[in-house]
Amino acid sequence: MADTELSAQIKTALGAVEIPGGGDLAGYGGLSEIIVTPGAIAFAIAVVPGMEAAFGPARDAAQKVAQDLGGSRKVMVSITAEKANSPKFGHGAAVPQGKTRVKGVQRIIAVGSGKGGVGKSTTAVNIALALAAEGLRAGILDADLYGPSVPKLLGIEGKPAIRDDGIFTPHEAHGLKVMSIGSMLVPGQAVVWRGPMATSGLRQLLRETDWGGLDVLVIDLPPGTGDIHIALFQQTIVDGVVIVSTPQDLALIDAQKAIDMLRRMAVPVLGLVENMSYFIAPDTGNRYDIFGTGGAERAAVSLGIPFLGAIPLVMSIRENSDAGSPPVATAPQGAEAAAYRAVARRLVASVP
């Protein structure tokens, strides 16, 4: 059967998959193009804020429908989310003075996003690994208080060791020094960890860790522009910020707000990375732009910032990252690692 026929057949069959709020997946506006190749089937479901879990059963059902029709093809159905922003940076605040560097750290590159759920943490971890692959002594600090995921992405468990003088010894994973704000949280505590507690927790992790001489520390920021960002940028010299976005997440207004905050806080914007940008069929190697093409590049141009590269939507990125085996470390010769390494090289070129 021709691939387009199977694609149409799957779409029709998705008419039997119910979605939250009524209706079916075939008629749902957030369903991407259904890519069918001789060896694979891939499509994505874009959902609105807070609906990722609710759409889980629909995704599982869609996966089954596609698998039943697709025979031995490998099936990937992803949910891509656009979560609500964190609290906004107040307008009119003065550009702060008195920023300092972190002891034992030459350069800091932060990774942020206008919105959550765009793959910011996955990108941050793989960029840090790619910087290490360029020969730099690299580390990563997980500042995403509202959803720390770096420990899972790097397969780290437990709290970091604390020396007698109260200084943290960071975890080590895949050649990276790693600290996560997740280690500071008691389960269920995150909600009340706002404002001063959150910022002092971050400060402690950043300043009271024995980084042991790093060329570059990557900081995985929370999404949006909130207290953590303001405190970090007020107190610390951050050499630049990378903004991660998905193609359908390119509501320019969000990226614009994040960039506006960075500019007013005198933090350089290093550029935009487009994540889950295109799908590469594992069998044919062909590229498919399932949500259209060129959005992030155009957005970068109109925002006046560099476009740093596009990361494909690949099943192995999700599966391996969620299992603590990020592709840059575990499959360094693969196409996924190459995409992250291209971004890292552009960063090395733009941060002295």
Ligand X SMILES: Nc1ncnc2c1ncn2[C@@H]1O[C@H](COP(=O)(O)OP(=O)(O)OP(=O)(O)O)[C@@H](O)[C@H]1O
Separation of alpha carbons 102 and 237, rounded Å: 8
Is residue 113 close enough to count as binding ligand X by CB under 6 A? yes
Q: What is the size of the binding site for ligand X (CB under 6 A)? A: 22
Alpha-carbon distance values, 79 to 43, 60, 97, 144, 276 (Å): 9, 10, 42, 21, 11
Nearest CA among 57, 26, 18 for reference residue 43: 26
| Residue 86 sits in the site that holds ligand X (CB under 6 A) | no
Is there a contact between 258 and 287 (Cβ–Cβ < 8 Å)?
Answer: no
With contacts defined by CB under 6 A, name the span among 54-62, 209-217, 307-315, 326-334 that binds ligand X: 307-315
Least separation, in Å, of the C-beta of 45 and ligand X?
12
- What minimum distance in Å lies between the beta carbon of 75 and ligand X? 14
Determine phi and psi for 295, rounding to 5 degrees: -60, -45
Which of residues 120, 137, 171, 229 is near ligand X by CB under 6 A? 120
Binding residue for ligand X (CB under 6 A) from 313, 329, 343, 344?
313
Beta bridge partners of 244: 273
Locate 265 and state its tokens.
């806080």
Q: How far apart are CA 123 and CA 275, in angstroms?
A: 8
Window 214-243: residues binding ligand X (CB under 6 A): 223
What tokens were used for 102?
């972190």
Within residues 251-280, the interface with ligand X by CB under 6 A covers: 275-276
CA gap 279, 310 in Å, rounded? 11
CB 241 within 8 A of CB 273: no
Token digits of residue 219: 């900081």
x-marked contacts with ligand X along 35-74 as a string, rule CB under 6 A: ----------------------------------------
Question: Within 27-170, where are the H helices?
Answer: 56-70, 120-133, 150-153
Indicate whether 250 belongs to the interface with ligand X (CB under 6 A): no
The one segment of 62-70, 117-125, 198-206, 301-309 that binds ligand X by CB under 6 A: 117-125
Distance of alpha carbon 15 from alpha carbon 269, whole angstroms: 44
Residue window 157-196: x/- pattern of binding to ligand X, with contact defined by CB under 6 A: ----------------------------------------
Q: Give 116 or 295: the residue with its C-beta nearer to ligand X.
A: 116
Q: Does 245 bind ligand X (CB under 6 A)?
A: no
Applying CB under 6 A, does 118 fall inside the site for ligand X?
Answer: yes
Residues that bind ligand X in the complex, under the rule CB under 6 A: 78, 113, 116-122, 144, 147, 149, 223, 275-276, 311, 313-314, 317-318, 321-322
